Chain A
Amino acid sequence: MAPPALLFPYFEPLGKQHNRAAFSCAKHPSLDTFLHTQALQEMKRLYSATRVLVASDGRTIIGYYSLSSTSVLLDRMPPKIVAKLPRYPGVPATLLARLAVDHRYQRQGKGPLLLVDALLEAYSAAVRSVASAAVIVDAIDDAAGGFYQRYGFVPFHDRPDQLFMPMREVRAFLRQAKLVP
């Protein structure tokens, strides 16, 4: 019996089968270098998790993103508020430190797909075991900041290169989109 045909493209964890060296976002060398040399290492060390959107050949990386855990220091909040926080003074959160699309696949709406998968992944982990109050993103430039804002992320006033979305909003979004029960 023939195996069921795979639908492409698909998301999966970064592995050795993927052609990392060919990836180029053609804009930020640091995003390319990370995928070429760091991403698998960091996965091995359980430091960050990278997932890739794979093209129909099963090797070509259309885009990738990396998640890790972080904490937000809330050391100046009044006790009344602190009592409501999951942990204090460091509130656990999920960091989406990198998200990039290969230049041959840009302007085709791949970025939003990567973002949706990242939110789904972050929420799945939060629901199962890893407490997380928000998803925080690092915007590498103004264009990236604008991208995240269009999809609902709010920039910090005094850290404009970082934006966040509360995990409650992520959950509301995923439920309404019927991506989670």
Chain B
Amino acid sequence: MRPSTIDKRASRQRPAVAATARIDMRLDPNEKKEIIAAAAESGESTASFVLQAVRNEIQRRRREREIIELSLRDQREFVQAILGSPEPNANLLAAARVYHDRIVRVQSTSHK
């Protein structure tokens, strides 16, 4: 019996607990063929193959945001900089004067 048949019967007998959603998208027909072939090759359904690829990409981006990896020379330079005592930038100081005169801070997130 095909798995899809089981799924249909099960959902008819009792409503699914988790809600499902759809994404409809257009893509190049050749690209679609390629995706289906790649999914078949790894023995997965197209949907789970695509979903897994997207999940991996989301994970990768999240990791990239949470951990910044640097080259050796960038590590050296970064360490030197954070342990040093650099002078403030003149343009930044000029911007701060405008900020000081014109901007009101309300309900700072940091004090909530």
Residue numbers of A with Cβ under 8 A of B are 6-13, 49, 51, 53, 68, 70-77, 81, 84-85, 90-91, 93, 95, 97, 109, 112-113, 115-117, 119-121, 124-125, 128, 133-134, 136, 150-152, 154, 156-159, 162, 164, 166-169, 172-174, 176-179
Contact = CB atoms under 8 A, between A and B. Distances in A.
A73 B85 contact: no
Contacts of A112: 91-92, 95, 98-99
Instruction: Output the residue of A81, A90, A151, A167 with the most chain B CB within 10 A.
Output: A151
B104 interface: yes
Interface in B94-112: 95-100, 102-112
A173 B104 contact: no
A10 to B, nearest CB: 4
13 contacts: A11-B104, A13-B112, A70-B68, A74-B70, A74-B75, A76-B75, A81-B79, A116-B99, A117-B105, A119-B92, A158-B74, A177-B88, A177-B93
B107 A13 contact: yes
Interface string B78-91: 11011111111101
B67 interface: yes
B65 interface: yes
Given A121-B110, A168-B84, A73 B67 contact: yes
Contacts of B93: 173, 176-177
A37 B76 CA distance: 38
A158 to B, nearest CB: 4
Nearest to A116: B99
Q: Is the interface of B mostly helix, strand, loop or mixed?
A: helix
Nearest to B112: A13
Interface residues of B, number: 44
B71 interface: yes
A39 to B, nearest CB: 12
Given A7-B104, A157-B74, A179-B96, A136 B110 contact: no
B41 interface: no
B82 A116 contact: no
B82 A173 contact: no
Given A11-B105, A154-B81, A113 B99 contact: yes
Contact of B104 (A10, A73, A124): A10
A101 to B, nearest CB: 13
A164 B89 CA distance: 13
